DNA sequence: GCGTTTGTTATACGCTTGAATAATAGGATG
DNA sequence: CATCCTATTATTCAAGCGTATAACAAACGC
């Protein structure tokens, strides 16, 4: 008896990899890390389970690739939000972008937290986090330096770093709060709080960043 | 043939529950949510797997109980850190307690993140988070009200809430940063940054909270 | 001390998991 | 149009999963 075999089409390596990574993120977002099984991911990507090991030596390596892509995506969004315009506007846009959709998004948070919880368990994940954190901090520091320079305010390198750390903390924290309990905040409350707080943290007169 | 059966001793219900919850947290911290299997947890607690269903209808309910205990523990630590003394000192201690060990601790973070990632997937976890978040925010708001009152500064209820949200965000964010990459910060850098930032956010003169 | 209760162990069940391997077919190459 | 390469499917495997159930023994009342 002639066994019928599922028809398929071959894809380029990059295409397939992207599909698999996208499917991985979908599965984690919908069912947690526990639900991101090889079979579920394969089904979501429209392939059979065995194919995964053709592209990734192990499931863990695929998870790491997915984590990397997630963080790159977030960095990309906030970075482009802060393009063009003058230093003040760039800084404001960067801050706002971090506490508004699509960054404040239940799916993004679920993914982020799932990976964060693996950081203490697996050095590979720790390295990815470290990389994206350092890059984020550097971007923020650059924005702050430009902002201070434009206003002719002298701020030492150390102070700038301290400001970046603090502002980054605030942004992360508000992002968390706003994403975990969006119903507790009125429409613009979060961005306004973020802007007003950064103003204060930088010892600017109220309304200076608006 | 006489089958030898493992000897055991009976425990009170609360004792056993606590043991099981502690074992659950240990397992999650060491091997992630994936590693927190019924068998592993039971082994860690020094009992056999079947016993778990005698105390918890389902594994998920045990996870929820563990989450609740984790958050209660954190709340407890920071709350007692802010006891006694005058309002200013209480506020400062509360802030510092949140960005120093044992709250900034790799284990705590791993646990916290593991549960956070379940919030978007399971309403039961969302409810637990909501409860602890609201309680934390209320505690902070109380501290702020007392602090402002002592200084004779008039701050509306709304302003106070906004301050509490912002300060909470900052604390959470710095806690994250400090715990995920402790080597990036010098010994006291994080608490000092936290204190200085809160001072600025509340529009206090520098050094006012020291 | 004896019987009863029930906390605890032991075992089994059906299912899913990540991974390995063999068989197949798509699609470029000549 | 035949050939070859390899991306993809299909199947298998041992291990581990959460849960259910039955047998056992520890501690307590009497």
Q: What is the ipTM of this complex?
A: 0.90
Q: For position A2, what pLDDT does the model report?
A: 52
The pTM score is 0.93
What's the domain range around A37?
Answer: 11-56
Identify whether residues B27 and B107 lie together within a single domain.
no
The answer to whether A174 and B166 are in contact (CB under 8 A) is: yes
Identify whether residues B126 and B51 lie together within a single domain.
no
Low-confidence ranges of chain A (pLDDT < 50): 1
Q: CB of residue B48 closer than 7 A to nucleic acid strand C?
A: yes
The answer to whether B144 contacts chain A (CB < 8 Å) is: no
Identify whether residues A87 and A161 lie together within a single domain.
yes
Q: Which one of A125, A160, A170 makes the best mutation probe of the B interface by having the most chain B beta carbons within 10 Å?
A: A170
Identify whether residues A72 and A171 lie together within a single domain.
yes
Identify whether residues B102 and B181 lie together within a single domain.
yes
Q: For position B3, what pLDDT does the model report?
A: 61
CB contact under 8 A, B180 and A133: yes
d(CA B175, CA B182): 10
CB contact under 8 A, B109 and A130: no
The answer to whether A195 and A207 are in contact (CB under 8 A) is: no
Identify whether residues B45 and B79 lie together within a single domain.
no
d(CA B174, CA B197): 11
Kindly state whether residue B207 falls inside one of the protein's structural domains.
Answer: no
Q: For position A3, what pLDDT does the model report?
A: 61
Name the 3-class secondary structure at B60. Answer: helix
The answer to whether A38 contacts chain B (CB < 8 Å) is: no
Q: Which one of B35, B38, B105, B116 makes the best mutation probe of the A interface by having the most chain A beta carbons within 10 Å?
A: B116
Count CB pairs under 8 A between chains A and B: 145
Kindly state whether residue B5 falls inside one of the protein's structural domains.
Answer: no
Q: CB of residue B47 closer than 7 A to nucleic acid strand C?
A: yes
Among B117, B133, B169, beta carbon nearest to A170: B169
Using CB atoms within 10 A of its CB, is residue A96 exposed (0-12), middle (13-18) or buried (19+)?
A: buried
Identify whether residues A195 and A139 lie together within a single domain.
yes
Å between A185 CA and nearest CA of chain B: 10
Identify whether residues A135 and A149 lie together within a single domain.
yes
List, chain by chain, residues whose CB lies under 7 Å from nucleic acid strand D: A 3, 5-6, 8-11, 16, 46-51, 54-55; B 3, 5, 7-10, 35-40, 49-50, 52-53, 58-60
Of A81-95, B3-17, B171-185, give the lowest mean pLDDT range: B3-17
Q: Note the helical H segments in B99-122.
A: 106-116
* Chain B residue numbers touching A130 (CB-CB < 8 A): 181
Identify whether residues A159 and A116 lie together within a single domain.
yes
Residues above pLDDT 70, as percent of chain B = 99
Identify whether residues B32 and B97 lie together within a single domain.
no
CB contact under 8 A, B117 and A106: no
Identify whether residues A52 and A65 lie together within a single domain.
no
pLDDT in tens, B58-112: 999 999 999 999 999 999 999 899 998 899 999 999 999 999 998 999 999 999 9
Q: CB of residue A10 closer than 7 A to nucleic acid strand C?
A: yes
CB contact under 8 A, A166 and B118: no
Kindly state whether residue A1 falls inside one of the protein's structural domains.
Answer: no
Identify whether residues A52 and A145 lie together within a single domain.
no
* Chain A residue numbers touching B30 (CB-CB < 8 A): 121
Query: Strand C and chain A: which residues 53-72 have CB closer than 7 Å?
Result: 53, 58-60
Would you say residue B187 has pLDDT above 80? no
Kindly state whether residue A180 falls inside one of the protein's structural domains.
Answer: yes
Of A9-13, B44-48, B164-168, give the lowest mean pLDDT range: A9-13
d(CA B29, CA B67): 12
Q: For position A1, what pLDDT does the model report?
A: 46
Kindly state whether residue A190 falls inside one of the protein's structural domains.
Answer: yes
Pair of tokens at residue A186: 């009125």
Kindly state whether residue A210 falls inside one of the protein's structural domains.
Answer: no
Q: For position B1, what pLDDT does the model report?
A: 46
Kindly state whether residue B1 falls inside one of the protein's structural domains.
Answer: no
CB contact under 8 A, B113 and A117: yes
Mean pLDDT of B12-21: 95
Mean pLDDT of B143-157: 96
CATH number for the domain harbouring residue B78: 1.10.357.10
CB contact under 8 A, B116 and A106: no
Kindly state whether residue A3 falls inside one of the protein's structural domains.
Answer: no
Would you say residue B113 has pLDDT above 80? yes
CATH number for the domain harbouring residue B33: 1.10.10.60
Q: For position A185, what pLDDT does the model report?
A: 87
Distances (CA, A) of B61 to A5, A118, B118, B128: 43, 22, 13, 12
The number of domains in chain A is 2
């Amino acid at each position: 008896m002639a066994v019928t075999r599922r028809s398929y089409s071959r894809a380029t390596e990059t295409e397939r990899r992207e599909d698999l990574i996208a499917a991985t993120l979908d599965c984690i977002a919908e069912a947690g890390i526990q639900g991101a099984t090889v079979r579920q991911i394969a089904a979501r990507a429209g392939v059979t389970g065995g194919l995964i090991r053709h592209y990734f030596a192990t499931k863990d390596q695929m998870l790491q690739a997915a984590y990397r892509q997630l963080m790159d995506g977030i960095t990309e969004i906030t970075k482009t939000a802060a393009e063009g315009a003058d230093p003040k506007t760039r800084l404001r846009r960067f801050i706002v972008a971090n506490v508004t959709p699509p960054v404040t998004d239940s799916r993004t948070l679920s993914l982020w937290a799932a990976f964060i919880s693996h950081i203490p368990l697996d050095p590979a994940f720790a390295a990815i986090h470290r990389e994206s954190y350092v890059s984020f901090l550097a971007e923020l520091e650059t924005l702050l330096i430009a902002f201070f320079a434009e206003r002719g305010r002298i701020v030492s390198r150390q102070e700038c770093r301290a400001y970046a750390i603090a502002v980054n903390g605030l942004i992360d924290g508000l992002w968390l709060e706003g994403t975990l309990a969006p119903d507790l905040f009125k429409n613009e409350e979060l961005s306004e709080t973020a802007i007003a707080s950064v103003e204060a943290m930088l010892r600017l007169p109220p309304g200076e960043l608006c």
